[in-house]
Amino acid sequence: MRALVRRLRSGFGKPVFVLLWLVPVWLMLSLCRLSIDMLSFRRLASLLGVAYGKMACIPLVTEDQQKRAAKIGQAVRLAARYVPWGANCYPQALTACLLLVLYRIPHCVCFGVALDSQEHGFSAHAWTAAGKIRVVGGESFSRYTVIACFVSLPGLHGTGCSSADQPATGGGVDAV
pLDDT tens digit string along 103-158? 999 999 999 999 877 767 888 999 999 999 999 998 888 889 999 999 999 866 54
Residue spans of the domains in the chain: they are: 2-175
Q: Residue 136 carries which side chain, given as an amino acid letter?
A: V
For residue 66, give the 3-state DSSP assignment.
Answer: helix
Residues 6+ apart with CB under 8 A from 29: 76, 79, 80, 83, 87, 91, 92, 95
Integer Cα distance of 4 and 165 in angstroms: 51
27-70 tens-digit pLDDT = 999 999 999 999 999 999 988 999 999 988 899 999 999 999 99
